[in-house]
Chains A and B, each alone.
Chain A
Amino acid sequence: MSWTFKGELPKSERIGLLIENLFRDQPQIEPDRALLITESYKATEGEPMITRRAKAFAHILKNIPITIRDHELVVGASSKAPRSCQTFPEYSWEWLESELETVGTRSADPFYVSEETKKALRGVHSYWKGKTSSERAFAYMAPEARQAIDHNIFTPGNYYYNGIGHVTVDYGKVLRVGFHGIRREAEAALAKCSVSDGDYNRRSAFLQAVILSCDAVCEYAARYAELAHMKAKSEPNAKRAAELEQIAKNCERVPAEGATSFYEACQSFWIVQLLVQVESSGHSISPGRFDQYMYPYYAADMAAGKITMEYAQELIDCVWIKLNDLNKVRDAASAEGFAGYSMFQNLICGGQDADGLDATNDLSFMCIEASRHVHLPQPSLSVRVWNGTPHEFLIKAAELTRTGIGLPAYYNDEVIIPQLLEHGETMEEARDYNIIGCVEPQSPHKTDGWHDAAFFNMCRPLELVFSSGVDQGVQIGPRTKPVSEMGSFEEFFAAYEEQMNYMIKLMVNADNAIDVAHAELCPLPFESCMVDDCIANGKSMQEGGARYNFTGPQGFGVANVADAMWAIKTLVFEQRKYSLSDFKDAMEHNYGQDMDAAWAQKLTATVVKELAEKGVSVDNAQIVQIYREIATNKATPDQKACYEKLLADIRALDKFGNDKPAIDAMARRAGYVYTRPLTQYTNPRGGVYQAGLYPVSANVPLGAQTGATPDGRLAFTPVADGVSPSAGSDVSGPTAAANSVSRLDHFICSNGTLYNMKFHPSALKGRAGLESFVALVRGYFDQKGSHMQFNVVSRDTLLDAQAHPENYKSLVVRVAGYSALFTTLSKSLQDDIIKRTEQGGF
């Protein structure tokens, strides 16, 4: 592969107009899909679930309103209003029903809901009682796993209440053979079956569901062809009328047939991308290696002189805008965890091809250019880096990083390819990897990775060590020895491992319960027909039809655990300045810092439950009295001084992130406490568990449910994000921080690690700044770190944006594994981003 791209390409006027339209109004919730799927389900009761799913999908595509927005070249929208969303009651609906009145005004990701929509949704929701995948999952789940969820040890909320998503389907195959081709493949498979085969009934039902879905998609595109044709007839502007006629022609051909031009390829791609997200509510539908599967169409058109580079760029920009047109409403708590209306559609360019040669081409550059033009959070743009990556390509990427958009994220082939080989994938498959959602690697269109399976807060089991497994008066973890009786650091560490092992086991139970529920109630024939080897295996992805199957829940807080373990080892067992009981006491009093209402409430609950267990009943008046005592019972001045002394001593210790090998080794060990036990478990689809260390943005809301920790972190403040050092503790510069983070074992984290670095714009000034930046990424990757991402925006800018959000509507920042509009984030998440250590050049 080679490339000719140089400099920059112009941004056409159309792009500005499309973006303006996109942001004119607040996102809305639209009721159509919920109404249509309910109608269909009512009509198909008693039929096989896979058949019902296909029929519902077809019913939706036949009747859902379709829209061509002004100036569009690539068409297809799931909502009438831009950036709006449909709902998916088959997964869950209770949260939406109870939040209908507040979803329009909440702080994270609000959606406008009209009164008619509210009425319509309320009308259909009652049908779904007892029929959703979330209820089925709940029924399957072990009681102690539910209890652990209630106590915020981990949360599998993502898949508990929504579709799975997290997939890269075979876009390239649709571009080549169209859905007529895929239909023929399913027909051929069906023809090979005999009615007397043991698995005939289920297999044939699945293949027929695939055929039905393919037909539905072709009809949907035909609706657009007709609409474009009609609009062209009444369009007064001749130029626009011609554009609409072209759109009609495109939609007549694709995605039913293979694409014959780059423009048709863009249209075909988009219909697939859109409809996977109409079939299910799963997010992180990741386009993957767009620069690879689109390239043949681009190259052919260029060689034939049919298009110019500028025109191809305009089409790509149009696709980018469409990726921002999709939206998804989540429950209030999840909205905090995934803040910023994010859809995590990860698109990656560069890297190696299946033969191990460099794959960078002109489209790789043009993808970066498109993100520069549209300057929007979607797609989650990523670049692959390996030893053969052209320097010019990384400089181009660094220029985008410098704009402060938080894109692209950088991924290291030299770590990720071995990770996939370790899981038994072939060299060719591993070299062809892309990233799903935030940071999760997989080989495209053959993997059901279940990548975002749960958030596991590594700090909570650490709290449980100090309470021998009791949380708010309830024994939720193993009854480990009281810390007052522990005689060595290793004994303490072993107790932490015991708490962790137990909670990891419960998380596996919860995830597997949800997994089974999806297989039974929400198999997805359309998505599955574009994933190997579902057609050959005769079953959907959800039932284990994919070639590779994983479950990947992610841990976070590894930096806090490392610093905490270091503090305990140093202050308790080496210097012997404090006892573990001193730590326990100080942590319960939040190190003598102010006790806020939430903390006091939590302590009150503990006291009340303890009293109840002793047989003392308390009435409401007494509870209020206890609460008052706790809230006003600040530590005595003497106690407060002791706690603050301990806090000062902890803060004076070295922290993870400053190139101190001994602490970094502790962090590596802390990481293993999560990653090693997890990898021994299997899932119902016949695959294994794999660990990730990344938080999305859950480190903030889940930190708000975590008491003070031995690293000096105060109660309810954010936990460290991903593998990054604790916010503000890496004070020895970016190379020192990168060295530290690289000392974690990234190879075992095959579900991805996430390293956030915040840069002041001055560090990236001029060509020399870009060169140093690229060298920093290269240097981190030489040491086998797997992912790196950057926020390049000054602290002053962020503070000003907080004060005057109206002036910063388009300020995009990197949150976690994705970028989002800063002003749409909650205040606490904004604060967390501002607090991340800012690395400058000296």
Chain B
Amino acid sequence: MELTEVKGRIFDIQRFSVHDGPGIRSIVFLKGCRLRCRWCCNPESQEYDIQTMNKDGVIETVGRDVTVGEVMEEVEKDRIFYRRSGGGMTLSGGESMCQPDFAEALFMEAHERGINTAIETTACASAETVRRLVPHIDTVMMDIKHMNSEKHYTYTGQHNEKMLENAKLIADMSDNFIIRVPVIPTFNDTEEEIRAIAQFASRLRGVEQLHLLPYHAFGTDKYRWLGREYTLPEIEPPSNEHMERLLAVVNATGLHGQIGG
């Protein structure tokens, strides 16, 4: 089968993304994820099934099946802007590693056309999938949420061991590997918790950057639209001062930290 004919399921393509990977990028959001992070701002991304959201009376279908060719047609539209900015295509989700055939075909087709590739991933996938995909990805941005596996399980529905193993695997294969940490008050926003992640990251081969992404509550409406409960207690986004303190903790490990993507 031609790469362009490979099918997959996405729920959005977002153009002119300037905060996720280098330059101006188009983000393809793939549907389906193994994690159920309580703070997830894209809860409509979690189920693989096509869903409907009731946006206070307006019914919207979330998810559509597309071919790699169809995605590339949209991605190609900003090719000129990628070239000028060093940008390209980013796969996000959901977890794009849950659709390895589709993700691999997208990456390979993009490279075929000279388009830079990146992924935002939890790395919750088999080692085999990681080995298949990483050679076709120019920049890997991986989330690490917590070093304590039990707490990780409580807040995301998955233990962290496999992901941390995959992190080491990616580090061995990728030349451009960035660790990103969502900073969630009540979950992982103490200096100790951030330090533990940063120390782990600093020992990964080639990892130089760690991005701290402060929690925001922009996704809470979507839980209501999906008829779901938002299970995080009412928390405030972390203050700028606190983020600066955490940034200092990251930088102390020798990594180059930054706030925001």
Tell me if A332 counts as interface (CB < 8 A to partner B): no
Complex CA–CA separation, A312 to B81 (angstroms): 37
A665 to chain B, nearest CB (A): 15
Nearest residue (CB) in B for A839 is B16
CB atoms of B19 and A842 under 8 A apart? yes
**B77 proximity list for chain A (CB < 8 A):** 659, 735-736, 739
Complex CA–CA separation, A247 to B84 (angstroms): 48
Interface residue tally for chain A (C-beta within 8 Å):
22
CB atoms of A735 and B81 under 8 A apart? yes
CB atoms of B18 and A842 under 8 A apart? yes
Instruction: Known A-B contacts: A734-B16, A772-B16. Give 16 more (CB < 8 A).
Output: A733-B14, A733-B15, A735-B15, A735-B77, A739-B77, A739-B78, A763-B18, A772-B23, A774-B84, A775-B84, A776-B84, A776-B85, A779-B78, A839-B16, A842-B17, A842-B27
Complex CA–CA separation, A163 to B87 (angstroms): 49
- CB 8 Å contact bits of B73-111 with A (1 = contact, 0 = none): 000011011011101000000000000000000000000
Q: Given A659-B77, A735-B24, A779-B81, does the pair A772, B18 have CB atoms closer than 8 Å?
A: yes
Complex CA–CA separation, A776 to B77 (angstroms): 13
**B85 proximity list for chain A (CB < 8 A):** 771-772, 775-776, 779
Within the complex, which residue of B16, B19, B27 is in contact with A735, where a contact is CB–CB below 8 Å?
B16
**A778 proximity list for chain B (CB < 8 A):** 84
Most buried by A among B15, B27, B83: B15
**A842 proximity list for chain B (CB < 8 A):** 14-19, 27
Q: Given A775-B24, A842-B27, does the pair A783, B18 have CB atoms closer than 8 Å?
A: no
CB atoms of A768 and B18 under 8 A apart? yes
Within the complex, which residue of B18, B24, B80 is in contact with A782, where a contact is CB–CB below 8 Å?
B80
Nearest residue (CB) in B for A764 is B18
Nearest residue (CB) in B for A737 is B16
By DSSP majority rule, is chain B's interface helix, strand, loop, or mixed? mixed
Most buried by A among B15, B81, B85: B81
How many B residues are at the interface, by size bracket?
A: 10 to 19
Complex CA–CA separation, A735 to B14 (angstroms): 11
Nearest residue (CB) in B for A742 is B80
B81 to chain A, nearest CB (A): 4
B24 to chain A, nearest CB (A): 5
B165 to chain A, nearest CB (A): 32
**B80 proximity list for chain A (CB < 8 A):** 779, 782-783
CB atoms of A775 and B87 under 8 A apart? yes
By DSSP majority rule, is chain A's interface helix, strand, loop, or mixed? helix
Complex CA–CA separation, A841 to B26 (angstroms): 11
Which A residues lie at the B interface, using CB under 8 A?
A: 659, 732-736, 739, 763, 768-769, 771-772, 774-776, 778-779, 782-783, 839, 841-842
A291 to chain B, nearest CB (A): 25
A485 to chain B, nearest CB (A): 40
A387 to chain B, nearest CB (A): 11
Complex CA–CA separation, A734 to B14 (angstroms): 11
The 16 listed contacts between A and B (C-beta, < 8 Å) are: A733-B14, A735-B24, A736-B77, A771-B23, A772-B23, A775-B85, A776-B24, A776-B84, A779-B24, A782-B84, A841-B16, A841-B19, A842-B14, A842-B17, A842-B18, A842-B19
Nearest residue (CB) in B for A840 is B16
CB atoms of A769 and B18 under 8 A apart? yes
Q: Given A735-B24, A775-B23, A775-B87, does the pair A841, B17 have CB atoms closer than 8 Å?
A: yes
CB atoms of B15 and A841 under 8 A apart? no
Complex CA–CA separation, A732 to B83 (angstroms): 20
Complex CA–CA separation, A732 to B23 (angstroms): 18
Complex CA–CA separation, A782 to B78 (angstroms): 12
A266 to chain B, nearest CB (A): 37
Complex CA–CA separation, A733 to B14 (angstroms): 9
**B87 proximity list for chain A (CB < 8 A):** 775
Complex CA–CA separation, A638 to B85 (angstroms): 54
**A841 proximity list for chain B (CB < 8 A):** 16-19
**B18 proximity list for chain A (CB < 8 A):** 763, 768-769, 772, 841-842
Complex CA–CA separation, A772 to B19 (angstroms): 10
B101 to chain A, nearest CB (A): 27
**B83 proximity list for chain A (CB < 8 A):** 779, 782
Complex CA–CA separation, A783 to B79 (angstroms): 11
